[in-house]
Structure 1
């Protein structure tokens, strides 16, 4: 059980904190680099070596739409606890109902109950509110969100980001001799953030962005954009097209038809996607998709987790369940070192961890870096061109 540490409960957040929460909240698919808040604090509450580690899990249990996700996250967290050697996690689960106000309240209650770190919430607004509620007490929040706009201070995000994927793909492009790109993106918030992530990754990797082509979601809009992008690459100005569009988006089949129709020949012009194409095996036979690059987690680790979860609970895990497993694994690894400062911001950003999709680490700005493999579609099936690395180079700061 948590050790109850009596303290005066904060009645309200300041107007400034409420304003910040409103401005930073974003829908979870929105990700890009450089939008996080201040660098993560280096502090955090002390833990007692050898004693159970009080961890609060915040999930939307009573949210009718997200309840199944919450259950899968809790199951995965408990599965990870079974792997911890020499570390005991005292896990308590709190229901956010998917609401920011309730997330704020239960985050405060969890800390009042003795929690030394918070795992969750799921949604960005709830995670932002939870972090704000306990920031003055130095408790860190490992959110399941991938919204970089809320990252920073005492809030870390565990979800995969556009920036991480873009950088991995761009590094692969540079390694294979690519020099210039055209970006195709949807003219909406996720598309614009994806475009920014690609542009920043191109700059870091010394690759030129020839043009960025936006489309409105209509047959005419997507067709016109495909034609403009094709003109840029067929003229010789660029050798690669990066697309931000989700594989499940209605625009994707149109792009895959219209790009080849306008002279973008697979094998001559490289196509790269910021999102995963393995979620759409029905597109594998599309000629326009042949040879495409995209990033995926370590398949062997992902499959091992899925099989173990299914054996334990009789059903497949939700795609986000692995984030809870990763969070508990990271907490356990740090606590095992026996240091009282194991859960401070400094400790959280000083180590690499091995999760359900491979190696990952938390960065000082509150975002994360995950090792990804470069995958492609060849002969109507997914193949791995460049395996996920087993370690991450450079410092996590």
Structure 2
């Protein structure tokens, strides 16, 4: 897989990881504001519908579905004084089935919906139950579907970009070139980085885009070099994941004279997945964001101890949803599952650290900033441990 680093003439395989399907844009825009929610009796079991992608015929979806359910049940064990009636519904990873299953769940008495995973399915589920006032905590990370009764639990591009641009500013790296792919994920990444640059008082030195082919990646390299030289940029922010163009950029940009020692490389995605990526010369010294390592490690160990295998990379979102619901219900308020309660500023503590939901349906997660040094990942800015008193 990594032969591409030895020569740019080797064929570059564009891999699509199952988890990246979460980024697919939804067919419809987000709903308008909804402030209601079901009134609940906190002394009684809370009915939670878990919508998972099982039934699609994909082994990957089946594994993900089981891992999400396992993680949700793991979180239920930690609740004190709160009883969850968890009911699992299969969406087959399909928007139409997600909508019908969401409606069925509400008819069955669901007071909140956890899931589904994929953006189109989550959007459809939210629309299907919007009139009931039931909120949807989806596992998507696509902020385009957020809003109204739909919240996204996945780590968003905006959250990652803000954390990294903010940290870059503290290090004097505030003149940034964005390098992004010409696909939906790349465009969303570009928008998130540009917004983070504006919000954090940094400067956008330029933008270089490329199509998803080896030839276009190679052709983009001199454009990146000339943009850096012309603007005096001191950082490059790349949207590409390690399964796509990152390995080629990591090889060719330094060869073209864009030295990582002079121009800071920053990544919107995890540069430590797969593990082989950390051995690339071009990523040494690069910055990227990761969940709180201590929290994520503790969750992984707890999951492995309970189920005898490692959790799926996004299984922790199932844990997070139940943790948030349990924390709110434990306060004894009848409006515990309303949008206002879900978006309380203190946030929650979940499988990968602290997080909170925003009124616009997006989220903020406490992320650490990592770098790669001598082929090893090192934390250079630890994850925050709260937002002023996170709930448990």
Fold conserved (TM > 0.5)?
Answer: yes
Show the 5 A alignment for 1:1-397: 28-30=22-24, 37-38=30-31, 40-65=33-58, 66-235=61-230, 237-249=232-244, 251-350=245-344, 351-392=346-387
Asked if the contact 1:348/1:362 (under 8 Å) is kept, the reply is yes
Instruction: Report the Cα distance in structure 2 between the residues aligned to 1:171 and 1:394, rounded to whole angstroms.
Output: 22
CA deviations 1:264-315 (Å, max 9, x no partner) are 1122110000000010322323221111000000011111111111111111
CA deviations 1:220-244 (Å, max 9, x no partner) are 3112212111222244521000000
Q: Cα distance 1:256–1:262, how it changes in 2: closer, same or farther (>3 A)?
A: same
Once the 2 structures are TM-superposed, how far is the Cα of residue 28 of structure 1 from its aligned partner? 2.0
Once the 2 structures are TM-superposed, how far is the Cα of residue 60 of structure 1 from its aligned partner? 1.9
Instruction: Report the Cα distance in structure 1 between the residues aligned to 2:95 and 2:195, rounded to whole angstroms.
Output: 31
Once the 2 structures are TM-superposed, how far is the Cα of residue 253 of structure 1 from its aligned partner? 1.8
Q: Cα distance 1:40–1:334, how it changes in 2: closer, same or farther (>3 A)?
A: farther
Asked if the contact 2:31/2:149 (under 8 Å) is kept, the reply is no
In the alignment of these two chains, the number of paired residues is 367
CA deviations 1:145-195 (Å, max 9, x no partner) are 112121111111111110100000000011111221111111111111111
CA deviations 1:40-66 (Å, max 9, x no partner) are 422100110211111111112212211
Instruction: Report the Cα distance in structure 1 between the residues aligned to 2:343 and 2:211, rounded to whole angstroms.
Output: 40
Instruction: Report the Cα distance in structure 1 between the residues aligned to 2:295 and 2:363, rounded to whole angstroms.
Output: 19
Asked if the contact 2:53/2:92 (under 8 Å) is kept, the reply is yes
CA deviations 1:58-100 (Å, max 9, x no partner) are 1122122111110111111000000001111011111112222
Instruction: Report the Cα distance in structure 1 between the residues aligned to 2:121 and 2:219, rounded to whole angstroms.
Output: 39
Instruction: Report the Cα distance in structure 2 between the residues aligned to 1:334 and 1:56, rounded to whole angstroms.
Output: 17
Instruction: Report the Cα distance in structure 1 between the residues aligned to 2:388 and 2:270, rounded to whole angstroms.
Output: 24
Q: Cα distance 1:206–1:109, how it changes in 2: closer, same or farther (>3 A)?
A: same
Instruction: Report the Cα distance in structure 2 between the residues aligned to 1:148 and 1:221, rounded to whole angstroms.
Output: 28
Instruction: Report the Cα distance in structure 2 between the residues aligned to 1:393 and 1:38, rounded to whole angstroms.
Output: 30
The worse-fitting range, judged by mean Cα deviation, of 97-106 and 335-344 is 97-106
Asked if the contact 1:42/1:346 (under 8 Å) is kept, the reply is yes
Instruction: Report the Cα distance in structure 1 between the residues aligned to 2:30 and 2:23, rounded to whole angstroms.
Output: 18
Instruction: Report the Cα distance in structure 2 between the residues aligned to 1:323 and 1:67, rounded to whole angstroms.
Output: 16
Instruction: Report the Cα distance in structure 2 between the residues aligned to 1:123 and 1:302, rounded to whole angstroms.
Output: 22
TM-score, normalised on structure 2? 0.90
User: In structure 2, what is the equivalent of residue 16 of structure 1?
Assistant: none
Instruction: Report the Cα distance in structure 2 between the residues aligned to 1:394 and 1:224, rounded to whole angstroms.
Output: 49
Residue aligned with 1:376, SS: strand
Give me the CA root mean square deviation. 2.0
Instruction: Report the Cα distance in structure 2 between the residues aligned to 1:90 and 1:227, rounded to whole angstroms.
Output: 57
